[in-house]
Amino acid sequence: MSHSTKEFSNPVIRWIEYRLPIFSFIDSSVGTGYPTPRNLNYWWNFGSLAGVVLVIMILTGVMLAANYTANVGYAFESVERIMRDVNYGWLLRYLHSNGSSMFFIIVYIHMFRGLYFGSYKAPRELLWILGVFIILAMMATAFMGYVLPWGQMSFWGATVITNLFSAIPLIGESIVTWLWGGFSVANPTLNRFFAWHYLLPFILFALVFIHLWALHVHKSNNPLGIDAKGAGDMIPFHPYYTIKDTFGMGVFMIIYLSFVFFAPDFFGEPDNYIKANPMVTPPEIVPEWYFLPFYAILRAITFNIFFIPAKLIGVIAMFSSILILLFLPWLDRCKVRSARFRPLYKQFFWIFVLDTLILGYVGANPPQGLFIPIGQAATAYYFAHFLIIIPLLGVLEKTKPLPESISAAVTESGTSGKENG
Amino acid sequence: MQKKIFLSAFLALVLGSSAVYAESEKVPSLDWSFKGVFGTFDRGALKRGFQIYSEVCSACHSLRLLSYRNLKEIGFSKNEIKAIAAEKEVQDGPNDDGEMFMRPAKPADRFVSPYPNKKAAQAANNGALPPDLSLIVKARKGGADYIHALLTGYKDEPPKGFNLLEGSNYNIYFPGNQIAMPAPLSDDAVEYADGTKPTLDQLARDISTFLAWTSSPELEARKSMGIKVILFLLVLTGMLYALMKRIWAKLH
């Protein structure tokens, strides 16, 4: 990473800087020495917000772990002890449990922003791919975290999801036994899930670091999706985006903490306040809301294809729905990044957003009646979007003319910040 | 009501509704003292609810996550709590002779359960297990509304053609409408010291309020902190917005 040649007047800072150039590193990363497109709108707030939530999750998580017991006999009770007897334990736990929902809302918006403005295109392919790994690590972390309170949904969710791996031919059963640490979801499962739930966020943190490293090479994309040409296109990150990100964080905290303080169980399932009982299956096993679209894709496959069983296809479809994003930079052949200049893609983008919402709605409902064909159609469309529509648009779409430069577009019509996509 | 405030179109669509309780009556929404941003528990209802728990529910239902000392939060004095605890016996030991012994419960002890274990509870209740009530309001869809509805939803006669199993009771709000618990409350089931008229509706409201407290004992501390935090954030964010506008005005 290139460091700015910023001069510091404070003698202590100069002494440290000479030996460890940390101040110029900060300056060139998030300070006056980091150039940023001048036209970023509020959709660009969600990256830094995700970082803030990750830090909140790690801090509250470490403090919760200090009071939690990973044993089937005590897990549920230790969580209730946190809620009732640990000083501000209820605050820590509600920050953490609602924080996971917020994390997913933010990251999903962050991803849709990338899709809309073409942030995955050259030269940011690796940046995007690292992001896909980040969402995968997030999902694994969230799934295992949900098991820890050892309520009914914890137990049965863990049972359903770990069982999916048994669909893998030949080694599936062995993988499941290894995940469980035995022959059913039981104490060894809880114990290892706790260990992994504590480990994964640090891997996530490392991935985020590399994600930012890649970001800082070619800098942020922008709503126009064109490369910065002159000095007039860029402004220093500090103070312009430090203040904008801080303001965004204020708005976010109001929303997040309103849930924490006034509706802390809004995102939760009542059944998870019943202690896990392997002898009683809940009437309906539903995953956390942020997994619902993927759950719908999993359940959409109700038919065998030749000799491949439906369950295996469902599992493949579910994982593919995320892994397909890895190939997006090459599926999309269109050179124009931003949907603002792609009239057709813009419409298909919103249809795709609607499709994921329909999948989420289907995932929340029992697989019966109309929900089955709707789920199947929405699943088919999900994949068609990436495999048919996007490649075709890359060839067929007639894009609108791109502006001369960022500054020309911004100063001419004053669209900066007005149009949010 | 709170939910409506926060419900964005996105969440409404994603969360959807599930059809678990579709077969039973819709639970009416009541106006609880602890509802809303400024809600607090009605102290009278909490004490009356505790009385109902002690005189009626505790015969079958445990409250295992609560300690007697917790009653201080709903207005009982130290001595009252000591007396309430001392009515029950708990096993302690071993003593210096290596013997286990029984002693009166202390404020630091957990609420003593009516049965020594699950099997004993089932054996005494025709095979049905009376659930622990510590978290019951948070553990049921509809929360306190549902508890109130359930307690007032018994009907002496099931509708014609309904096949009621032996030992079951008909309740319009219970999923499947067959519940093992016989109607636990009726008009004048307990005698209130504060002169409140113990109608079935009143009793159901009081016990539901008490159980809402056992589920969320942090509710009042949480909401009062929340109001301060949100007010602070509104001011801070407003100032941040003004600062942002000022900084960005320099550009061009």
Task: Encode A210-238: b = buried (16+ Cβ within 10 Å), e = exposed.
Answer: ebeebbbeebbbbbbbbebeeeebbbbbb
Would you call A80 and B141 a contact, using CB atoms and an 8 Å cutoff?
no
Q: State whether residue B224 sits within 8 Å of chain A by CB.
A: no
Catalytic residue among A17, A27, A233, A245: A245
Our CA-based measurement puts residue B117 at a distance from the nearest CA of chain A, in whole angstroms, of 15
Would you call A257 and B18 a contact, using CB atoms and an 8 Å cutoff?
no
Would you call A364 and B2 a contact, using CB atoms and an 8 Å cutoff?
no
Helix (H, G, I), strand (E, B) or coil at B37: coil
Q: Which residues of chain A lie closer than 8 angstroms to B19, CB-CB?
A: 365-366
Residues B194-239: tens digit of each pLDDT: 999 999 999 999 999 999 999 999 999 999 999 999 999 999 999 9
Low-confidence ranges of chain B (pLDDT < 70): 1-23
Please, which residues 8-37 of chain B have a Cβ atom closer than 8 Å to chain A? Answer: 10-11, 13-20, 37
Q: Which residues of chain A lie closer than 8 angstroms to B62, CB-CB?
A: none
What is the pLDDT at residue B76? 96
Could you give the C-alpha distances from B168 to A282, B20, B124, B149, B163, in angstroms and in order? Answer: 21, 20, 15, 18, 10
DSSP string for residues in B86-115 = HTSEEEE---TTS--EEEE--TTSBPPPSS
Residues B53-69: tens digit of each pLDDT: 999 999 999 999 999 99
Q: Which residues of chain A lie closer than 8 angstroms to B11, CB-CB?
A: 289
Report d(CA A37, CA A410) in Å as an integer: 11
Please, which residues 89-128 of chain B have a Cβ atom closer than 8 Å to chain A? Answer: none
Q: State whether residue B226 sits within 8 Å of chain A by CB.
A: yes
Would you call A244 and B226 a contact, using CB atoms and an 8 Å cutoff?
no
What is the pLDDT at residue A6? 73
Comparing CA positions, the residue from A52, A284, A72 lying closest to residue A181 is: A72
Q: Which residues of chain B lie closer than 8 angstroms to A266, CB-CB?
A: 2-3, 6
Report d(CA B78, CA B71) in Å as an integer: 9
Q: Which of B65, B218, B236 sits opposite A250 (nearest CB)?
A: B236
Report d(CA B145, CA A274) in Å as an integer: 18
Backbone angles phi, psi at A35, to 5 degrees: -75, 140
Q: Which of A80, A240, A260 sits opposite B248 (nearest CB)?
A: A240
User: In chain B, which residue's Cα lies nearest the Cα of A417?
Assistant: B248
Catalytic residue among A28, A78, A119, A220: A220
**Sign (positive/negative) of CA torsion A8, A14, A20, A23?**
negative
**Token digits for A409?**
């577009």
DSSP B57: G
Q: Which of A38, A360, A364 sits opposite B251 (nearest CB)?
A: A38
Helix (H) or strand (E) holding B178: strand B178-179
Our CA-based measurement puts residue B178 at a distance from the nearest CA of chain A, in whole angstroms, of 15
Active site residue A220: yes
Contact B105, B85 (CB under 8 A): yes
Find which of B4, B14, B34, B35 to mutate to test the A interface (most A CBs within 10 Å of its CB): B14
Active site residue A110: no
Find which of B4, B8, B72, B138 to mutate to test the A interface (most A CBs within 10 Å of its CB): B138
User: In chain B, which residue's Cα lies nearest the Cα of A86?
Assistant: B218
- For the beta carbon of residue B168, count every other beta carbon within 10 angstroms: 19
Q: Which residues of chain B lie closer than 8 angstroms to A279, CB-CB?
A: none
Our CA-based measurement puts residue B221 at a distance from the nearest CA of chain A, in whole angstroms, of 9
Contact B52, B207 (CB under 8 A): yes
The ipTM of this complex is 0.91
Our CA-based measurement puts residue A339 at a distance from the nearest CA of chain B, in whole angstroms, of 22
Contact A1, A28 (CB under 8 A): yes
Chains A, B: CB pairs < 8 Å = 118
What is the pLDDT at residue B251? 87
Would you call A274 and B139 a contact, using CB atoms and an 8 Å cutoff?
yes
**Sign (positive/negative) of CA torsion A174, A132, A293, A70?**
positive
Q: Would you state the torsion angle of the CA atoms of residues A82, A83, A84, A86, taken in this order, to the nearest 10 degrees?
A: 40
What is the pLDDT at residue A230? 83
What is the pLDDT at residue B1? 39
* Identity of the amino acid at A346: K
Mind listing the pLDDT tens digit of every residue in chain A (421 residues)? 444 567 899 999 999 999 999 999 999 999 999 999 999 999 999 999 999 999 999 999 999 999 999 999 999 999 999 999 999 999 999 999 999 999 999 999 999 999 999 999 999 999 999 999 999 999 999 999 999 999 999 999 999 999 999 999 999 999 999 999 999 999 999 999 999 999 999 999 999 999 999 999 999 999 999 999 888 899 999 999 999 999 999 999 999 999 999 999 999 999 999 999 999 999 889 999 999 999 999 999 999 988 999 999 999 999 999 999 999 999 999 999 999 999 999 999 999 999 999 999 999 999 999 999 999 999 999 999 999 999 999 999 999 999 999 998 887 544 444 444 3
Please, which residues 39-78 of chain B have a Cβ atom closer than 8 Å to chain A? Answer: 65, 70
Active site residue A216: yes
Would you call A243 and B135 a contact, using CB atoms and an 8 Å cutoff?
no
3-state per-residue secondary structure call for chain A: CCCCCCCCCCHHHHHHHHHCCHHHHHHHHHCCCCEEECCCCHHHHHHHHHHHHHHHHHHHHHHHHCCCCCCCCCHHHHHHHHHHCCCCHHHHHHHHHHHHHHHHHHHHHHHHHHHHCCCCCCCCHHHHHHHHHHHHHHHHHHHHHHHCCCEHHHHHHHHHHHHHHHHCCCCHHHHHHHHHCCCCCCHHHHHHHHHHHHHHHHHHHHHHHHHHHHHHHHCCCCCCCCCCCCHHHEEEHHHHHHHHHHHHHHHHHHHHHHHHHHCCCCCCCHHHHCECCCCCCCCCCCCCHHHHHHHHHHHHCCCCECCECHHHHHHHHHHHHHHHHHHHHHHCCCCCCCHHHCHHHHHHHHHHHHHHHHHHHHHCCCCCCCHHHHHHHHHHHHHHHHHHHHHHHHHHCCCCCCCCCHHHHHHHHCCCCCCCC
Place of tokens 């605890």: B85
Catalytic residue among A3, A216, A219, A275: A216
Report d(CA B28, CA B14) in Å as an integer: 24
Q: Which of A253, A259, A270 sits opposite B138 (nearest CB)?
A: A270
Contact A99, A256 (CB under 8 A): yes
Cα first-last separation, chain A: 32
User: In chain A, which residue's Cα lies nearest the Cα of B18?
Assistant: A365
What is the pLDDT at residue B25? 85
Q: Which residues of chain B lie closer than 8 angstroms to A264, CB-CB?
A: 222
What is the pLDDT at residue B23? 62
What is the pLDDT at residue A234? 95
Contacts of B246 (CB under 8 A, 6+ apart): none
Report d(CA A155, CA B76) in Å as an integer: 38
pTM (whole model) above 0.90? yes
Contact A94, A264 (CB under 8 A): yes
List residues in chain A touching B: CB distance below 8 A: 38, 77, 80, 83-84, 90-91, 94, 235, 239-240, 243-244, 246-247, 250-251, 253-254, 257-266, 270-271, 273-274, 283-284, 286, 289, 292, 357, 360-361, 364-366, 411
Catalytic residue among A17, A269, A271, A288: A288
* Identity of the amino acid at A41: N
Catalytic residue among A121, A211, A244, A385: A244
